[in-house]
Structure 1
Amino acid sequence: MGFQKPSHTFTKIHLKALHTNRFNILFALSFTVFINMFSYAQELPNSGGEIPVEPKKEETNIQKDTTINLKPLIKGTTKVQDSSINDSIKPKPKFLKSKVKYKAKDYQTFNRKEQKLYLYNEAEVYYEDMEIKAGIIVIDYNKQEVYAGRIKDTAGVYTQLPIFKQGENVVEPDSIRFNYDTKKALIFNSRTEQNGMNIIAEKTKRINDTVYYMNRAKLTTSENLDDPEYYFLVRKGKFMSGENNKKVVTGLTNLFIYDVPTPIGLPFAFFPMSEKRTSGIIFPSFGEDNRRGYFIQNGGYYLALSDYFDLAILGDYYTNSSYGLRFESKYNVRYKFNGNFGFRYENLVTSERGFPDYSKSTIYNLRWAHNQDQKANPSSRFSASVNLGSSTYYQQSINQINLPNTQNNTLSSSISYSKTFDVEPQINYSITATHSQNTQTQQINMTLPTFQGSIGRIYPLAPKEGVKKGLIQNINVQYNLRAENRISTTDSLFFKPQMFDDARIGARHSIPVTTNFKIFKFFSVSANANFDETWTLNTIDRVFDAETNETITTDLTGFDAFRTYNFSTSLGTTLYGLFNFDKNNEGKKIQAIRHVMRPSISYNINPAFDNYYDTVEVVNADGDTASDIARQEYTRFEGGVFGAPNQTFSSSIGLSLSNNFEAKVKDRDTTATEPKKIILLNNLNFSTGYNVAGDSLKWSPLRMTGGTQLFKDKMAVNFGATLDPYALDNNNRRIDTYNINNNGSLFRLTTANMTVSYSLNSKGNESKSSNRDKGSRDRILSGGREDDLFGESQDFSDNQFGDEDEEEDEDVLSELYNFKIPWSLRLAYAVNYNNTQRQDEISSHSLMFSGDIEIAPRWSIGGSSSYDFKNNGFGLTQLRFSRDLLSWKMNFSWVPFGTYNSWNFFIGIKSNLLKDLKYEQRRKPDERL
């Protein structure tokens, strides 16, 4: 039915009132409705089959609704199918792909006419992985854009700068426009930090998640973004943020220092900002040596081989053809093991070819440290600490990092593996390779390897249940095995076949039987009987050659063995004494002194094993009569790994006494309820012995040792002395006469020694300087001291030896800086006295000292040196100056005199990203001057 409005062109029709028959109209409408209802109905056939329907083609030019298609169904059911599935016109995508969450503190207003949502004051919007926080945020639904900006406070200052975050990238601009459909954005005056690099750009265009175009951007590692002390100005640049490979590629770039341009620039630049370690070039240091010419040092290539280990290949080169190579590697597998490996080789050329002082030599050094995590395998453990090579390596090395190690006298190494079998009794074994090298005498002693095995204690007479008591029940048996392949050689034969010519191989089996018990409740008694069997593959034979009139010793190889046994017992107890000085609670400063004594007496008996000794007849040159023949005794086991059997019977008594002194003093803290304990002497020990079977000089010298801690444990004092009860004859040889009977004192002081170490600083706690840098670990691995009393490394460009970042003390940093000056001091004093043969001399007397002082904020000076009071001369002396330039650091090190006199100046950026931007000058003065 349709309705049409009459047109004004039609002829007017005059209406006339007509009579309406309501019954006829109602009947007509009912009939019409009945016909319309049944005109669309269809009766299903009796069979249950599906009536096929021919598909109906759609025509897009027909303006008719075809979204509903009726299809006959089976078994009287009706189903409606949506024909839009097959429609050629695709529906429009949703306006937003996910939900938008937003909130604001003051108000949230939606303008329907503009289709904009306004959020004001602490506004936040979250859409997919995007987060925007700002003072004001406007969402434009027509343009599909989000605008975020700042707002002014009551003082007219802009606050609540926008923070745009997507994934791991965070940008803090002045304002931002973001299209959430194309994901593109315009960012104005943005600030972002990428792995230590701060990027400040006037205008940034975001293309996608990984590409940003920047205009007039500043790249800096400074923490002060409002006024950075330096930056690289990038006119045009591109920032690419990959999954693990972030980088900035720029056009014309040059360095600005406090907004002042410098001539340091490049037409294009590349700044890697990877979160993971990446391979790259290590920029070298330059300098001059008057003996070897100009040089470059510590340059090379870094290889990030995997997440578990790396490799750095470094090299040095001098213009006189001297060169050096270094291979440094670190590895770490969490919960299993970690370590580092280094090999250094240097080819040294002195002077020029053709000159009389021309020389050429090679030196090397191998270092390896390996530590196993205790959780990796509780029953077995592998560890290594290796430091071996040329004895003169640290003294002759041309690399500056070795300065603190030039004072090392010993190189030592140890590689060991141990295994424990958790059975009853417990079984343990270990395999160890050791190395000890004297850099002065170039003597090297090695064991390749040492095997040690043991079986735990077995108590054959102990009860199955309960506690073991008495002499019999505490009897236990053990088994120990030690086998060695000992090598003694020199530096010139090291790692050559000749070094094994004098190798000594032997093994010792030991079965100790021990017991312990108490008598009179207060005395502890222990007894031990030990049986040893020694195996050896090296013996000797000695004969006298009448023609040459010499005794000839011949080395023999072959299995041989000897057996020994001994017995020992000891008796000891503990005595406590308390001297109370404040019995009446008068509040005296010293209230009591506590004295603990532990006396003990022991007895040892060692039989003589003469059956292992032979004699050789030596004839004098004057004749062959009986009086001219001398018999010399020897054993074929001389020079063995575990020595020779005892030839003389020994029966001796040992005496020892250890003491400990503590004091209780009144605490200065009035709120303390208990007195304060102070250690007066950690230990004061006396020991001597008496040889019962000896025919003379039965008493052994009395040995005294002691030590204590003073000044709140800041000073450690250790001392010792040897007192001899026997006198000397005119030839300074000990005689069987007591010194007191020779018009002397009761004891004769033969040797004495004392060492004092003191460490303090302005804060009153333990000084951090002794372990404030990572170079201390390198000094320990090289066999040196942990502290800096021997100096510090001069390689300031290598951050592994740089100072660790320390939090600044707010009390120290001040504009006036006149109330506290941080400082630290470390002292080491040693003196040795020798009077064994009436020398009455100080054999050695020296003082080592090191200190640092911060004369102004970020200005510090320090130094280390030593003085030999016996020879009246200074040892290795180093003066250090350091300036903290915020993002930069400046160091100057100077060795003013001596064999290693040199100076080194360095200025560079602290950050690892730009550590190659540096200036370094070092020079070694002419030693002939």
Structure 2
Amino acid sequence: MKMISNKLAVSGPASPEFEGVPIPIGIPFGIYPLVQGRHGGVLVPTFAQSQDYGLGLEGLGYYKVMNDYWDVTARTNLYSYGGWSLNLNPRYQKRYRYTGNFNLTFQNTKALNRSYVDYGGTTPTTGDEFNVTKSFMLNWTHSQDSRSRPGTSFGANVNFGSTKYNQTVLNNPYLNYQNQLTSSISYSKDFKGKANIALTANHNQNNALHLVNINLPNLNGTVVTMFPFKKKEQIGQPKWYENIGIGYSGNLNNQFSFYDTAYSFKKMLDTIQWSAAHSIPITLSLPAMGPVTLAPSVSFQEHWFGQQIFRTWDDKEKKLDTSIHKGFYAARQVSFGMSASTRIFGTYGLGTTKIRHEVRPTVSVSYTPDMNSQNYYNVQVDTLGNKLRFSKFDGIPPGAFQEGAFGGLSFGIDNLLEMKVKDKKDTAATAFKKVKLLDGFGFSSSYNLLADSFALSPFSLYARSTLFNVINITSSATLDPYQINQYGYRINKFAWSKGSLGRITNGSVAISTQFKSKPRDGRSDSARTPVDPFMTPDEQQRQLQYARANPAEYTDFNIPWTLSLSYSFSFSKQLQTDTTGAYSYQTITSSNINFNGDFSLTPKWKVGATGYLNVTNGSLQQLSMFVTREMHCWQLAVNVNPIGIYRSFSITINPKSGILRDLRINRSRTFSNY
């Protein structure tokens, strides 16, 4: 090889070797640019084969440096059936000022129609031979360095595109099942710590329902609590009224929605909703009365709405109709309250083992006058003549105030349970270690002394714990203390009059844990894989998604084995009635298991898998498996996705160096699961 420093290197014939074994492929000569710094060039594609898309070249592109702050990457995928995709990825960065990137993708998917039948022209064909789908996706992230403009920030995380885009991306099961897209753009300014404003624009999109909701512009403003009676120069103990604080918070919201399958600008304008909310809290800090802390409060809230919703029963069609009246409407609410809280400790001894129990009860007394009953009305909801009560502002952000006066108690108890045991690793007589049994468990509810019915609110029950500092458990449930009638509706009679505490209407349990062996070299994860400080959160998320879709290429051989498990279960009871008036409560459940793990067969061979199991219907929704081989400077990676919208496998051999990562041998095939 001949080398010219900082210019060029030229070599004769060359071929790769794996573990000293030559491979019968090579090049007759080589020309290697040795240009310093960033420079553009062609991006080498990989070969792919899909049962639905045909043969393809993926990742063919070009990288261009625009200037010291901008660069652009353009890539394309080409398939033999006629499908293609184009991706443009401009990135920009100015150190100590801002950083961001755009990611715009156009897809023209042309997939084989499995139901197509050709009868040789004697009879019509069944459908078209190919299914053609056009889609796009726009991603934009922008983050501002906090040092560039202290007190002012601007950020963006935009993800907007066609609802069918995610389903047509090959070899990415995590993206195929992602049905929610969200975006946010925000600007905020702080006024010397006394007040701040935030202007935001948000978007959420349900790909399954094809529903798009956009909120813009939204304006939020807050004024930090002020103490108007406090003296500038304090002498002695302050008077009680000097601790009176007054604050303010308000927001203005605008929202409109549309279905992307039947988009119409006029229909979108008809869905526009605007509203505003104002809140003025008044607080007073009182000195502690022994173990009890008191906190009085006064609050005034006002909501502005741009429309009202009225529901009426149609006797002819036997259904509930909805009409919207637009205009300017307002609703107000005032509340007065006093809360008290304390902490109670107890210890139980069992030999050298001590159990510590901490109880944190809270009680508050509040009064809210009735200022919103005129906004409520009764409406028949079924053919049996049953009626429900609605507000004119139900379903309109920020929501309707409750009707009726409230004067009563809100109460709750939170508990902490932990244990002290003798530390076996320390021989000292006073050596103990703490073990948490329950991080928290308790309940909360309220009782309205002024209500003529249903004075007691449902109980919120919860518990959370971390067993052995490894297993995280959280659970919650709602207990309704009232009975139901022959039609399944609540009646004003307590359930415990019949020997029952009440009805559990919904609940959930989540359990997660993670195990992994110690690293062979003894270094921490952060020391081995430092985070790029100039990578935006969105770029980190994209890199994580790629690593999940191609786990064999990002295997850490320094960790002999890892295992992550999570389980979630939730249920709710929904009332079901028929035309005869008979009722039943149907329990809707959802249960799933997520798993992810790998282990080393030998110091240089590793296998692993990750997946999602829907326990409710007993189906494995997603599974990815990999086998990888560490070959010093090279790495062999085999990824297999046998379940999902697209089933695929790939075999890749590439250098581990990031500079030479595109010098790979790739073989992949994809099969549609439709």
Give TM-score, length-normalised by structure 2. 0.84
Residue number in structure 2 paired with 1:503: 272
Residue 357 of structure 2 is aligned to residue 595 of structure 1: yes
Residue 504 of structure 2 is aligned to residue 749 of structure 1: yes
Q: Distance in 2 between matches of 1:520 and 1:646?
A: 34
Q: Distance in 2 between matches of 1:292 and 1:275?
A: 40
The within-5 A match list for 1:237-252 is 237=2, 239-242=3-6, 246-250=7-11, 252=12
Cα distance 1:260–1:551, how it changes in 2: closer, same or farther (>3 A)?
closer
Structure 1 residue 904 displacement after superposition: 1.1
What one-letter code is carried by the residue in structure 2 that aligns with 1:341? F
Q: Distance in 2 between matches of 1:870 and 1:611?
A: 43
**Aligned counterpart for 1:606 among listed residues 363, 368, 371:** 368
Q: Note if contact 2:72-2:88 (Cα within 8 Å) is conserved in structure 1.
A: yes
Q: Note if contact 2:16-2:26 (Cα within 8 Å) is conserved in structure 1.
A: no
**Aligned counterpart for 2:77 among listed residues 316, 321, 329:** 316
Structure 1 residue 393 displacement after superposition: 2.3
Cα distance 1:650–1:392, how it changes in 2: closer, same or farther (>3 A)?
farther
Residue number in structure 1 paired with 2:465: 708
Residue 101 of structure 2 is aligned to residue 363 of structure 1: no
Q: Note if contact 2:197-2:220 (Cα within 8 Å) is conserved in structure 1.
A: yes
Listed as ranges, the gaps of 5+ residues in structure 2 are: 117-124, 576-583
Q: Note if contact 1:408-1:783 (Cα within 8 Å) is conserved in structure 2.
A: no
Q: Distance in 2 between matches of 1:381 and 1:653?
A: 42
Q: Note if contact 1:593-1:663 (Cα within 8 Å) is conserved in structure 2.
A: yes
The within-5 A match list for 1:864-883 is 864-883=610-629
Residue 316 of structure 2 is aligned to residue 538 of structure 1: no
Q: Distance in 2 between matches of 1:499 and 1:463?
A: 54
What one-letter code is carried by the residue in structure 2 that aligns with 1:605? Y
Structure 1 residue 615 displacement after superposition: 8.3
**Aligned counterpart for 1:803 among listed residues 544, 554, 572:** 554
Identity %: 28
Q: Distance in 2 between matches of 1:606 and 1:785?
A: 49
Structure 1 residue 497 displacement after superposition: 6.3
The within-5 A match list for 1:450-465 is 450-464=218-232, 465=234
**Aligned counterpart for 2:59 among listed residues 264, 286, 298:** 298
**Aligned counterpart for 1:522 among listed residues 268, 272, 291:** 291
Residue 597 of structure 2 is aligned to residue 851 of structure 1: yes
Summarize deviations over 1:54-74 as a string: whole Å, max 9, x none: xxxxxxxxxxxxxxxxxxxxx
Q: Note if contact 2:311-2:379 (Cα within 8 Å) is conserved in structure 1.
A: no
Cα distance 1:758–1:663, how it changes in 2: closer, same or farther (>3 A)?
same
Residue number in structure 2 paired with 1:254: 14
The within-5 A match list for 1:24-173 is none
Residue number in structure 2 paired with 1:346: 107
Residue number in structure 2 paired with 1:445: 213
Residue 425 of structure 2 is aligned to residue 669 of structure 1: yes
Summarize deviations over 1:658-677 as a string: whole Å, max 9, x none: 11122222112225664212
Residue number in structure 1 paired with 2:202: 434
Aligned length: 644
Q: Note if contact 1:387-1:782 (Cα within 8 Å) is conserved in structure 2.
A: no
Cα distance 1:493–1:662, how it changes in 2: closer, same or farther (>3 A)?
farther
Normalized per residue, the structure richer in strand is 2
Largest Rg, 1 or 2: 1
Residue number in structure 2 paired with 1:824: 562
SS in 2 for 1:914: coil
What one-letter code is carried by the residue in structure 2 that aligns with 1:415? I
Cα distance 1:405–1:264, how it changes in 2: closer, same or farther (>3 A)?
same
Residue 188 of structure 2 is aligned to residue 418 of structure 1: yes
Q: Distance in 2 between matches of 1:785 and 1:682?
A: 34
What one-letter code is carried by the residue in structure 1 that aligns with 2:14? N
Cα distance 1:380–1:339, how it changes in 2: closer, same or farther (>3 A)?
same
Residue number in structure 2 paired with 1:758: 513
Q: Distance in 2 between matches of 1:845 and 1:260?
A: 50
Q: Distance in 1 between matches of 2:311 and 2:484?
A: 35
Residue number in structure 2 paired with 1:730: 486
What one-letter code is carried by the residue in structure 1 that aligns with 2:150? P
Residue number in structure 2 paired with 1:896: 642
What one-letter code is carried by the residue in structure 2 that aligns with 1:735? I
Q: Distance in 2 between matches of 1:558 and 1:450?
A: 19
Cα distance 1:477–1:278, how it changes in 2: closer, same or farther (>3 A)?
same
Q: Note if contact 2:363-2:411 (Cα within 8 Å) is conserved in structure 1.
A: yes
Q: Distance in 2 between matches of 1:386 and 1:468?
A: 53
**Aligned counterpart for 1:679 among listed residues 426, 431, 436:** 436
SS in 2 for 1:745: coil
Structure 1 residue 294 displacement after superposition: 0.9
Residue number in structure 2 paired with 1:52: none
Q: Distance in 2 between matches of 1:331 and 1:878?
A: 34
Summarize deviations over 1:113-148 as a string: whole Å, max 9, x none: xxxxxxxxxxxxxxxxxxxxxxxxxxxxxxxxxxxx
Summarize deviations over 1:706-729 as a string: whole Å, max 9, x none: 212123x22211112222322333
SS in 1 for 2:174: helix
Cα distance 1:705–1:468, how it changes in 2: closer, same or farther (>3 A)?
farther
Summarize deviations over 1:209-262 as a string: whole Å, max 9, x none: xxxxxxxx3xxxxxxxxxxxxxxxxxxx3x2223xxx43134x42315267665
Q: Distance in 1 between matches of 2:604 and 2:455?
A: 66
Cα distance 1:362–1:542, how it changes in 2: closer, same or farther (>3 A)?
same
- Larger RCO, structures 1/2 (Cα 8 Å, 6+ apart): 2
Residue number in structure 1 paired with 2:158: 386
Q: Distance in 1 between matches of 2:235 and 2:474?
A: 45
Cα distance 1:455–1:273, how it changes in 2: closer, same or farther (>3 A)?
same
Q: Note if contact 1:760-1:767 (Cα within 8 Å) is conserved in structure 2.
A: no
Q: Note if contact 1:537-1:557 (Cα within 8 Å) is conserved in structure 2.
A: yes
Summarize deviations over 1:479-500 as a string: whole Å, max 9, x none: 2221111223333367956434
Q: Distance in 2 between matches of 1:848 and 1:397?
A: 22
Structure 1 residue 515 displacement after superposition: 1.4
Q: Distance in 2 between matches of 1:891 and 1:747?
A: 56
SS in 1 for 2:150: coil
Structure 1 residue 599 displacement after superposition: 0.7
Residue number in structure 2 paired with 1:657: 413
Q: Note if contact 1:385-1:413 (Cα within 8 Å) is conserved in structure 2.
A: yes
Residue number in structure 1 paired with 2:175: 405
**Aligned counterpart for 1:887 among listed residues 633, 639, 661:** 633
Residue 248 of structure 2 is aligned to residue 479 of structure 1: yes
Q: Note if contact 1:612-1:645 (Cα within 8 Å) is conserved in structure 2.
A: no
Cα distance 1:412–1:520, how it changes in 2: closer, same or farther (>3 A)?
same
Q: Distance in 1 between matches of 2:271 and 2:437?
A: 51
**Aligned-pair Cα RMSD in Å:** 4.0
Cα distance 1:365–1:844, how it changes in 2: closer, same or farther (>3 A)?
same
What one-letter code is carried by the residue in structure 1 that aligns with 2:92? Y
Q: Distance in 2 between matches of 1:479 and 1:785?
A: 39
What one-letter code is carried by the residue in structure 1 that aligns with 2:463? G
Cα distance 1:422–1:881, how it changes in 2: closer, same or farther (>3 A)?
same
SS in 1 for 2:214: strand
Listed as ranges, the gaps of 5+ residues in structure 1 are: 1-216, 218-236, 583-587, 619-627, 797-801, 810-820
Structure 1 residue 561 displacement after superposition: 3.6
Cα distance 1:843–1:558, how it changes in 2: closer, same or farther (>3 A)?
closer
